[in-house]
Structure 1
Amino acid sequence: MPFDLGDTVRLEAACHDAAGTLTPATTAVVTLTLPDGTTATPAVGAPVATGEYRVDYLTVQAGRHGVRWTFTGPGSAYTDSFDVREAEPALILSLADARRHLRYAPGDTADDEQIREWLETITIGVESLAGVCCRRTVVEVHSVPADGAHTLVLRRTPVLSLTSLVAVQSGGRSYLPAELDVDGPAGVIRRLDGGRFYGPLRGTYSAGRAIIPANLSSASRIILQHLWRTQYGASRGLSQVGGGDDYLVTEPIPGFGYAIPNRALQLLEPDRLPPGVA
């Protein structure tokens, strides 16, 4: 499961000789490849038990981390990885809301990390169908025909605000946000003076919703309950984990198979994006 940015991650590895026996190493090195491509080599102390090594690493970057342990005397190696969430992950529901909907008792936090990971997954699914829910900064490049264009269409909607629209190529024309009209729900930008855009242009903007409507929150709770049932074996009654036949999907949703039940899809309908719009 992903760690939170700023968490301390415990890295562990064992050194084995050719016969597979745990053996103290002459040297032990752990190398981390960070998400930006740089590396870190935290100091490795004495083994905590025969041939067993441990390093506690304080995370400083979000993303996938590669881990490579190498030992000499005897020669041995071990490769692993772990993920770190961004500082403000997109979650359409709070953990407290999710736990309440799944009817967890106060203080029962054993499954919290698993629930949080499902919430990240559900947010991606809902946003792919209904547009961005959780505020985030988007940076994207737009090609423009040689004779210019009267409008630009931003790819992630709804748009809350436009930060900048600048030329990618040297000598190109940039545009100030004050010179532009932004249709937030549609993501369409126009020049206030009626002129054309010339590019390519790099747009930076904030997308999302200041208030997430109740239908999207309710749909997310239904999807969570639907997917949470995968944690249990077929022998457990459906009534114990939420839902009966009304949770079943009559036909798969393109791109999501049977992950989103029809009841949730109906709640998402007022905010559904047109086909082909991400």
Structure 2
Amino acid sequence: MPLDLGATVRLTAECRDPGDVLTDAATAVVTVTLPDGATATPAVTNPPAQTGKYHADYVTTQPGRHTVRWTFTGPVHTYTDVLDVRPEQPLAILSLKDAKQHLNLSLTDTSQDSEVMFWNNATTTAIEFFTGPVVVRTVTEDHSVGTVGALVLRRPPVLAVTAVEPLRGGGPSYDVNGLTVDGATGIVTLTAGGLLRGPLRMTYRAGRPVIAENISGAARIILQHLWRTQRPTRSGGLPGASDDYSVTEPIPGLGYAIPNRAVQLLNPDDQGPGFA
């Protein structure tokens, strides 16, 4: 499961000889490749009385996918793994507390928190398939414009354009205070009239400062549905299942992943391809 940014993760590996027997190595190195391509080599420990077993503690510094490569000599052995780190501000509609309460999980038992957070974030992705951004975030996009007077940002609802940068030397620059933005559609025009010309790099804030109850309610239904699919004694969202959260018809673009009752709650806020 993904880690929180800044958390310390214990990386573990085993060294085995060609006969697949645990063996202490002459040398052991672990290399962590970060999302930006930089590398780190945390100190490796071979605990006493634990033949062939190694670990290293690494403090995460960047969000994204990391590659972990263990290299042993004497005997020669390698092992590769990956780990994911969440951004500092995770894109979750529900708080961890709200998610656990809805799943009827103990707030003092943290043993399943990582799994709850994983499915909680997946729930947000499903919701935003229909509504566009819900959790407020900064978006940066490149646009080619020039033949029409407007530019359409791709991730409405838009709260504000914060920066406009020309991508071609000598290209026009624009003051964000001279732009008119339709938040619901993402259409940007010059307040004084005229044509926007590019190419331009647009940076803006998108999302909803206040999340309506129909959206948070749909998030709870989807989370419950996805959580049940992970429990071996439940039928989850399988077609034809008797679960209260089962889907009676596939949703365009998402199949049986989303219960219809959640989609119905999202109807007033649908901006995405789900109802094309």
SS class of match (1:170): coil
Question: Which residue of 1 is the match for residue 21 of structure 2?
Answer: 21
Cα offsets for 1:198-255 (capped at 9, x unmatched)? 1100000010101001100000001111111112234x588xxxx9655222221122
Q: What are the equivalent positions in structure 2 for 1:96-135 lying under 5 Å apart? A: 96-135=97-136
Root-mean-square deviation (CA, aligned residues, Å) is 2.0
Unmatched tracts of structure 1, length 5 or more: none
Structure 1 277/199 Cα, relative in aligned 2: closer, same or farther at 3 Å?
farther
Cα offsets for 1:129-171 (capped at 9, x unmatched)? 01110011000000124xx320000000111111111210000
Cα offsets for 1:90-111 (capped at 9, x unmatched)? 0000111111111223423322
Question: Which residue of 1 is the match for residue 45 of structure 2?
Answer: 45
1:231 has 2:230 as partner: yes
Question: Which residue of 2 is the match for residue 2 of structure 1?
Answer: 2
1:268 has 2:266 as partner: yes
CA–CA distance in structure 1, aligned partners of residues 70 and 187 of structure 2? 50
Deviation larger for 81-90 or 36-45: 36-45
Cα offsets for 1:57-76 (capped at 9, x unmatched)? 00001111101111111111
Structure 1 83/274 Cα, relative in aligned 2: closer, same or farther at 3 Å?
closer
Q: What are the equivalent positions in structure 2 for 1:153-232 lying under 5 Å apart? A: 153-232=152-231
Structure 1 195/223 Cα, relative in aligned 2: closer, same or farther at 3 Å?
same
Q: Which residue type is aligned with residue 213 of structure 1?
A: A
CA–CA distance in structure 2, aligned partners of residues 103 and 42 of structure 1? 39
Q: Percent identity?
A: 55
After TM superposition, the score normalised by the length of structure 2 is 0.93
Deviation larger for 191-200 or 245-254: 245-254
Question: Which residue of 1 is the match for residue 75 of structure 2?
Answer: 74
Query: Is the contact made by 2:97 and 2:107 (CA closer than 8 Å) also made in structure 1?
Result: no
Structure 1 35/277 Cα, relative in aligned 2: closer, same or farther at 3 Å?
farther
Query: Is the contact made by 2:160 and 2:204 (CA closer than 8 Å) also made in structure 1?
Result: yes
CA–CA distance in structure 1, aligned partners of residues 235 and 121 of structure 2? 27
Question: Which residue of 2 is the match for residue 256 of structure 1?
Answer: 254
After TM superposition, the score normalised by the length of structure 1 is 0.92
SS class of match (1:247): coil
CA–CA distance in structure 2, aligned partners of residues 247 and 16 of structure 1? 47
CA–CA distance in structure 2, aligned partners of residues 212 and 231 of structure 1? 27
CA–CA distance in structure 2, aligned partners of residues 152 and 244 of structure 1? 48
Structure 1 39/273 Cα, relative in aligned 2: closer, same or farther at 3 Å?
same
CA–CA distance in structure 2, aligned partners of residues 274 and 24 of structure 1? 55
Question: Which residue of 2 is the match for residue 136 of structure 1?
Answer: 137
Q: CA deviation at 1:17?
A: 1.3
Query: Is the contact made by 2:131 and 2:272 (CA closer than 8 Å) also made in structure 1?
Result: no
Q: Which residue type is aligned with residue 141 of structure 2?
A: E
Query: Is the contact made by 1:151 and 1:197 (CA closer than 8 Å) also made in structure 2?
Result: yes
Query: Is the contact made by 1:246 and 1:263 (CA closer than 8 Å) also made in structure 2?
Result: no
CA–CA distance in structure 2, aligned partners of residues 2 and 237 of structure 1? 26
Deviation larger for 194-203 or 267-276: 267-276
Question: Which residue of 2 is the match for residue 58 of structure 1?
Answer: 59
Query: Is the contact made by 2:15 and 2:24 (CA closer than 8 Å) also made in structure 1?
Result: yes
SS class of match (2:208): coil
Structure 1 25/159 Cα, relative in aligned 2: closer, same or farther at 3 Å?
same
